[in-house]
């Protein structure tokens, strides 16, 4: 077995009896075993690595039982994919009951036979919640988050790289992508990583504004410039001086406003409605659109010169269906977020739940996924999300397949490497499942991974 496929078990026990039994039950090639004698080191160990199962003996709770229960609560909350098996002496059933309430999967009396111990471990693995992120594991959190965005797929790492490039300059940026792909999060990340981070960040959702109020919202107005303008008002560009303004749904502005915006980009100045006095501004502009602006240009609805002013640097946010390997991370994040918001305790999700999520095409992307998880958490009466907590459209949907983009000119070697990379991303680096999808043996897959580095 490869190290990543071994059963990872940590024994927390004053003696070594449980650890010795585990070593007798499993071959060395099947097992990665860690051992701690005191509860004080348990959290530190989880900050370094993740485990499938924790065997927790009541022997370490005798001096500070409340501390031990607190540790169990921390592991349950921060490492939901770790199954906790609690072992206790017959005279200490009270602490076993507290352990179950703290999140332990099961308890058993000591001494425990090899057959029962193996059965408990294998049952806990079968019932293991399908959540991948250990929030105590510092390196894992760092690898899968960027600013407020979550994802470790190849397409998201490309986005992170472009965001860093954009943050290093002051040029206009155009962010494109389907609804719900996180365009505003990307804009905010550019601002917070740039030299303008200490300045204001002004998001303007143009599509939600009445067309006759867009000019006033962006440029402000003088008193009496139109009916209802009873006093002078500064617009977003004036309020965003030395900062960043984010113009969402830029395709919805009319032709007249497009001219005004083009003038601002060229001269870095504008005037309020009802005034002819120019106001010079130092503002970084980031625009976003879920519409195809090139098609809007062909249809005569968007100015070509404004488009080229805005897309000096273009970032394309990938749809969720192309972010292979990110689904579990996002679900994990939204479950924890929803539990905090709705005061719920969810330990994980069933394999059927994830299978259903993976088979759906996600037309609403990450925003739709967040809403689905929130609904599931609210509807769940227990502590494990299951398929019956999902909307009917997900249960009835089956995805035709994951597309792998190929360009003319790619060699067969490049195509084979791309297929392996994308399949490994899609399966969360599960080699057994990846080899099944690719129709080759695990050994053949391993050899190809070495070949392609």
Handedness of CA 296, 206, 373, 125 (dihedral sign): positive
Nearest to 175 by CA among 302, 57, 311, 304: 311
Task: Encode pLDDT of 374-384 as tens digits.
Answer: 999 999 998 88
pLDDT score at 285:
96
SS3 labels along 60-84: HCCCCHHHHHHHHHHHHHHCCCCEE
Task: Encode pLDDT of 154-189 as tens digits.
Answer: 899 899 999 999 999 999 999 999 999 999 999 999
Task: Encode pLDDT of 225-272 as tens digits.
Answer: 777 777 888 889 999 999 999 999 999 999 999 999 999 999 999 988
d(CA 167, CA 196): 9
d(CA 58, CA 298): 72
d(CA 328, CA 354): 8
Instruction: Give the mean model confidence (pLDDT) for residues 145-158.
Output: 86
350 against 376, higher pLDDT: 376
d(CA 377, CA 19): 36
Domains observed in the chain: 3-128 (3.40.50.2300), 154-317 (3.40.50.300), 322-395 (1.10.8.60), 412-451 (1.10.10.60)
276 against 108, higher pLDDT: 108
Share of residues in the chain with pLDDT > 90 (%): 49
Q: How far is CA 37 from CA 43, 88, 304, in A?
A: 13, 15, 69
Is pLDDT at 4 greater than 60 in this prediction? no
pLDDT score at 211:
83
146 pLDDT tier (thresholds 50, 70, 90): confident
Is pLDDT at 429 greater than 90 in this prediction? no
Is the pTM higher than 0.75? The answer reads no
d(CA 429, CA 30): 18
pLDDT score at 399:
45
Is pLDDT at 12 greater than 90 in this prediction? yes
* Average pLDDT for the chain: 86
């Amino acid at each position: 077995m490869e190290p990543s496929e071994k059963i990872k078990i940590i024994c927390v026990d004053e003696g070594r009896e449980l650890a010795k039994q585990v070593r007798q039950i499993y071959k060395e090639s099947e097992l990665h075993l860690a051992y701690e004698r005191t509860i004080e080191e348990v959290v530190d160990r989880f900050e370094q690595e993740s485990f499938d199962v924790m065997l927790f003996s009541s022997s370490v709770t005798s001096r500070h039982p409340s501390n031990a229960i607190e540790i169990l609560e921390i592991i349950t909350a921060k490492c939901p994919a770790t199954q906790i098996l609690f072992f206790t002496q017959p005279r200490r059933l009270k602490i076993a009951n507290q352990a179950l309430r703290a999140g332990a999967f099961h308890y058993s009396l000591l001494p425990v036979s090899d057959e029962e111990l193996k059965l408990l471990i294998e049952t806990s693995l079968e019932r293991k919640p399908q959540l991948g992120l250990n929030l105590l594991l510092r390196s894992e959190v760092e690898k899968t988050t960027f600013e407020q965005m979550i994802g470790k797929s190849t397409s998201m790492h490309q986005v992170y790289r472009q965001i860093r490039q954009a943050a290093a300059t002051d040029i206009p940026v155009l962010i494109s992508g389907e609804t719900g792909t996180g365009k505003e999060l990307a804009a905010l990340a550019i601002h917070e990583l740039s030299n303008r981070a200490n300045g204001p960040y002004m998001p303007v959702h143009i599509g939600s504004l009445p067309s006759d109020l867009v000019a006033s919202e962006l440029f402000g107005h003088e008193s009496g410039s139109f009916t209802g303008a009873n006093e002078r008002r500064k617009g977003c560009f004036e309020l965003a001086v030395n900062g960043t303004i984010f113009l969402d749904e830029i395709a919805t502005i009319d032709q007249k406003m497009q001219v005004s915006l083009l003038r601002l980009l060229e001269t870095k100045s504008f005037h309020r409605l009802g005034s002819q006095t120019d106001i010079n501004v130092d503002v970084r502009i980031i625009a976003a659109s879920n519409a195809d602006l090139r098609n809007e240009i062909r249809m005569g609805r968007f100015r070509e010169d404004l488009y080229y002013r805005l897309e000096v640097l273009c970032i394309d946010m990938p749809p969720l269906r192309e972010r292979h390997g990110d689904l579990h991370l996002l679900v994990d994040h939204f479950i924890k977020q929803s539990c905090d918001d709705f005061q719920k305790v969810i330990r994980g999700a069933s394999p059927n739940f994830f299978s259903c999520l993976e088979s759906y095409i996600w037309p609403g992307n990450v925003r739709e996924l967040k809403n689905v998880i929130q609904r599931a958490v609210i509807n769940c009466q227990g502590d494990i999300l299951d398929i019956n907590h999902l909307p009917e459209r997900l249960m009835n949907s089956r995805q035709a397949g994951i597309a792998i983009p190929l360009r003319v000119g790619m060699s067969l070697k490049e195509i084979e490497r791309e297929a392996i990379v994308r399949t490994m991303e899609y399966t969360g680096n599960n080699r057994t499942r990846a080899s099944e999808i690719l129709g080759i043996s695990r050994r053949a897959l391993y050899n190809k991974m070495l070949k392609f580095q």
